Each structure stands twice: as structure tokens, then as C-alpha cells.
Structure 1
Amino acid sequence: MKRVKIKHHTAASIQVKDHSKPKLSAYEWVSDDQRHELSVKNNALTLPNETGKHVIEITADWPNGNASYTFVVEVE
């Protein structure tokens, strides 16, 4: 998976194309079976601050289903 390089203290905006309002959650995967919850407020995600690569998962839950998006960031 291609990584996105970011600076320390970076936040990301989460946008839903159809303008629906799913319940959003975000996690940093620290191992195959362990993850830490990240802060999501007003569709803004606070990304990790520690230098290195981080696997991030965003989940979106609607009344009729859900979706999960995963990406890698590298904090420089």
C-alpha cells in the first residue's frame, strides 16, 4: 500500500461524497490484532504525531450498512 507523507501535528478532513452523516470512527493499527482509537470530531481526524509509518483505518456506519477505509501515513 502506498503511503502518504505528512508533517507532525497534521489533521485530515473526512468527506462523504453523498453528504450523508455516518457515524465515523478511526483507528491506528499497531499490530495485526491491536489497534488504538483516534479522535474524530466534526469530520476531522487527528493523525499520529510520532515519526514513522502508521496504518490508519476509518470506519463509517450508516443505518443500512458500513464501510471501512485503510491507508498508510508516514510522519516525517
Structure 2
Amino acid sequence: MTGTRVAQMNHVERFRAVMGFLGVDRLPRWEWAMWWDQTIDRWRGEGLPARCQSVFDISQYFGLDPYMQ
């Protein structure tokens, strides 16, 4: 997306737009990292609140798209 403003989208609209090579408000969350545990350890060292214990808590804390498989 270059120079075009797109209204805020929900996660389904965002995913469909990306798959259709259309403009999006931001890139969707797309995770396949095998080093997730190391990422969480680092974030904890950088101040991630102790209440963030699960991937769901972390997603909500950072305002990420819903975590679904």
C-alpha cells in the first residue's frame, strides 16, 4: 500500500485483502516462528507484564489479530 489510506479493517477483511493483493490498513498477524519462547523471554526482560502468560494474553496486550488455528 503506497499513498492510499484504507479504513480500519477487521482481521477477516485484512486477510482477504492481502490474499487479493488489495490495500490494507496494516499487515495481518502471520506467525510461524519456531523461536517464540525466546521472543517471550526477551519481551519479559523488556517489560512485558507478568499477567501476560498465554499467547492469547500477549495478543490482547499488543492489540494483535485474534489467534486462531
Question: Do Structure 1 and Structure 2 share a fold, with TM-score over 0.5?
Answer: no
Q: TM-score, normalised by structure 1?
A: 0.24
| Greater RCO, 1 or 2 (C-alpha within 8 Å, sep 6+) | 1
Q: TM-score, normalised by structure 2?
A: 0.25
Larger Rg: 2
Return the structure number with greater helix share: 2
Return the structure number with greater strand share: 1
